[in-house]
Amino acid sequence: DAGVIQSPRHEVTEMGQEVTLRCKPISGHNSLFWYRQTMMRGLELLIYFNNNVPIDDSGMPEDRFSAKMPNASFSTLKIQPSEPRDSAVYFCASTLQDPGGTGELFFGEGSRLTVL
Amino acid sequence: GEDVEQSLFLSVREGDSSVINCTYTDSSSTYLYWYKQEPGAGLQLLTYIFSNMDMKQDQRLTVLLNKKDKHLSLRIADTQTGDSAIYFCAENSGNTPLVFGKGTRLSVIA
């Protein structure tokens, strides 16, 4: 299995530009999570989906952030307009939510965003 | 809400044992986890323990769980330079998302 695939791995953009981060979860997984990691705040959960439906987006910082999951194999996180304080590493993770399972999350390698 | 706390830094000499500690607040946790993050990479599951266990050993790793005190620890025996990474404690209960600590940065001095 290829694991969780994220793109781009690195993005440098200017303040005010739109940023789109992409994620392909592991095939067969039914839950997908977007996290943001910074030195100051650590790992923050932004939003998660079960069976392509957003369940909890209370971690999304503000209206500039939006996430979609049009099908089971693809999700996007969009920031419009971007600001320097959005600079962080954004992780996508997926899992198979199963009553008998361990709940292990599988993470992608992350997308490092720098907003100048 | 649920909270997971861990110290931010730990420095040990190569060959010594490392002990990384974590406290959590959710008494209904089902599983508790240790994830490892190497530089430039995502988090990877290192080991986990079911809440009805108090110890789990896996080669150089020993996980201790004190449910009464809501305290979890990870011991790495014979720490190597390749163990330098950030270690995250996490817990979940049922179908709620994992709650992660801020991570402990382990530095191994040769």
pLDDT in tens, A52-77: 999 999 999 889 999 999 999 999 99
CB pairs under 8 A between A and B: 43
| Per-residue model confidence (pLDDT) at position A45 | 93
Q: What is the CA radius of gyration of chain A?
A: 14
Q: Are the beta carbons of B98 and A103 separated by less than 8 Å?
A: yes
Q: According to the model, what pLDDT value does residue B11 have?
A: 97
pLDDT at B1: 64
* pLDDT digit string, tens, across residues B70-108: 999 999 999 999 999 999 999 887 667 888 999 999 999
Q: What is the helix, strand, coil percentage profile of chain B, to 5?
A: 5, 55, 40
A42 CB within 8 Å of a chain B CB: yes
- Residue with the larger pLDDT of the pair B110 and A98: B110
The whole-angstrom separation of Cα A79 and Cα A65 is 5
* Interchain CB contact of B41 with A (< 8 Å): yes
B95 reaches A (C-beta below 8 A): yes
> pLDDT tens digits for A8-59?
999 999 999 999 999 999 999 999 999 999 988 889 999 999 999 999 999 9
Question: What residue has token string 């010594």?
Answer: B16
**Cβ B42–A56 below 8 Å, yes or no?**
no
* DSSP label at residue A87: -
Supply angle C-alpha A95, A40, A108, rounded to 5. Answer: 25
Query: Are A109 and B45 inside 8 Å of each other by CB?
Result: no
Q: Do B45 and A105 count as a contact with CB atoms less than 8 A apart? A: yes
Flag if B98 and A42 touch (Cβ within 8 Å): no
pLDDT the model gives residue B96: 75
Other beta carbons within 10 Å of A100: 4
What percent of chain B lies above the pLDDT cut of 90? 75
Q: What pLDDT sits at residue B29?
A: 81
